[in-house]
Amino acid sequence: MTDAMKATSSSVVPATDGNGVIGEMTPFAMTDTLNAISDMVCVCIDGVIRHINTSGVAILGAANREALIGLTFQNLICDDFAATIDDILAVIADETNATPMHVKCLNGKLESLAIQVKRLPELGAHAYVVIGQSLTRQVELSAALHQGEVRFRKLVHSALDLICVLDDGIISYINQAGLLVLKAAHESEVVGKPFSAFLHPDYQEIFNGDISELAEENMLIRLRLNDLKQNYFDGEMGITLLEMGKTMRCMIEVRDITAHNRAVTALRHSIETLEQRVEERTRELQEEVTERRRAEEMLRHVASHDGLTDLPNRSLLMDRLNKAIHRAHRDNKKCAVMFIDLDGFKPINDTLGHDMGDLLLRVVANRLTATIRETDTAARFGGDEFVLILTDLEKADDALPVGKKILDALRQPVDLNGNDAHIGASIGIAAYPDHGLNAEEVLKQADTAMYAVKESGKNAYVMAAEEPS
């Protein structure tokens, strides 16, 4: 596997906008870095090419990138290889090593490629990054060796990669590029030496086995070499078997991938930085959303609750009363409203001050809440007036015991900064549907009943249209 194959397949996580265009914040926005890679790198989604680097455009014989975007990659593969497979990318993705194949270029030529495919699950079930290294040059060099030494030397000397011929592991020929790579001034410094002498100790075992097996696998081998000055550099090696007999002759082609590795390292660092920035921004957005929701909930609460007692205000009271009437009608039951006006509150408020009056109202709110069920509602209607909604009643008189509990609770003295305050309550009760068919009518009947209690002596409760109890 080439370094481009390893780095791209393990690190690149591109993103598209749905039309195959790579987004501005993806690693593929690093055009200069990707174009420095000599291998073809393309992204396929549902079999269609969505992105391809400059090397890929050249390898596939296209005039420009746009000529390849939108093409089905499998259609470029020669029929004898792909005709019987529905999704060849999925098949190759399951292979560990690169797969050699012929592709039909847009210029009509055939190209030999070593293909490796890796899945990109972030982009979908059928998203892949395809890395291909051209093998055509190696094929041409092998043919040239068989056709004659003169043609071989002319072709090989013009190559940019290190090319040498080994006879039983001993270098018998090396091209000019190889001399430059190994920092040799003359062929005599290299020819006649075992090729393994130029390998890093960790990689010398490659030539301890049968090289013919490596040649038959037609794979690229990553290795580390050292030049005559003992400087190490990374390379990718291809082996072509030339002769098998008393002497085993093979051709070695080594590409210096030091610059390539630097580009891949920079790309990987950029990806890691990008991922970190995305994670940080995602976390910030989540915190912003949470804070916004918290603020919205607070605003809704403030808009629907009394600022002093934190009980539902008149607006929320009417909403809950309408819902209680709707449920009572649906379930063939009753609901009741208790309109409460405090007795004796004004003298306390005038004598001890508004702060003590506010404290008294908060105590009353707590006592009212404690006398009813969780399914009922206690609300502040305004001033020293409160309203209770009692739900799921079988009959209107079921509200009367609650009236008694409220009077008993409010009769208890309230400690206001060392002063015992005594109050009472006038309570009017009305029920749906007995005293009204909507929220306004029921509330009005309860209010009227409360005033009847006030006029008859206070500190009592009464059902609408009844005498005070």
Contact 430, 464 (CB under 8 A): yes
Report the C-alpha dihedral over residues 226, 229, 231, 232, rounded to 10 degrees.
0
Contact 317, 381 (CB under 8 A): yes
User: Residue 81: what pLDDT?
Assistant: 61
Tokens of 253: 């082609």
Tell me if 3-134 shares its fold with 314-463.
no
DSSP letters, 125-162, are TTEEEEEEEE-HHHHHHHHHHHH-HHHHHHHHHT-SSE
Residue 103, SS3 per DSSP: strand
- In the block, residue with structure tokens 């912003």: 288
Distance of CA 467 to the CA centre of its chain: 68
Question: For the chain, what are the domain ranges?
Answer: 3-134, 139-256, 314-463
Contact 399, 429 (CB under 8 A): yes
Tokens of 407: 């009077």
Amino acid at 327: R
Tokens of 11: 């690190």
Task: Kindly give, in sequence order, each residue whose CB lies less than 8 Å from that of residue 316, ignoring residues fewer than 6 positions away.
Answer: 304, 305, 379
Contact 250, 145 (CB under 8 A): no
Overall fold of domain 3-134: Beta-Lactamase (3.30.450)
Could you read off the pLDDT tens digit of each residue along the chain, which spans 469 residues? Answer: 555 545 454 444 444 444 444 444 344 445 666 677 888 999 999 999 999 999 999 999 999 999 999 999 998 988 666 667 788 899 889 888 888 888 999 998 988 899 999 999 998 889 999 999 888 766 666 665 556 555 555 556 666 789 889 888 899 998 888 898 899 989 899 999 988 888 888 887 777 666 677 777 777 888 888 888 888 888 888 888 887 777 788 888 888 887 677 777 777 777 888 888 888 888 888 888 888 888 888 888 888 888 899 899 988 999 999 999 999 999 999 999 999 999 988 888 888 888 998 999 999 999 999 999 999 999 998 889 999 999 999 999 999 999 999 999 999 998 888 888 899 999 999 999 999 999 999 999 999 999 999 888 888 999 998 544 5
Contact 469, 407 (CB under 8 A): no
- Per CATH, the number for 139-256 is 3.30.450.20
- Per CATH, the number for 314-463 is 3.30.70.270
CA triple 100-102-108, angle to 5 deg: 155
Tokens of 103: 């592709």
Closest to 62 in 3D by CA, of 101, 104, 107: 107
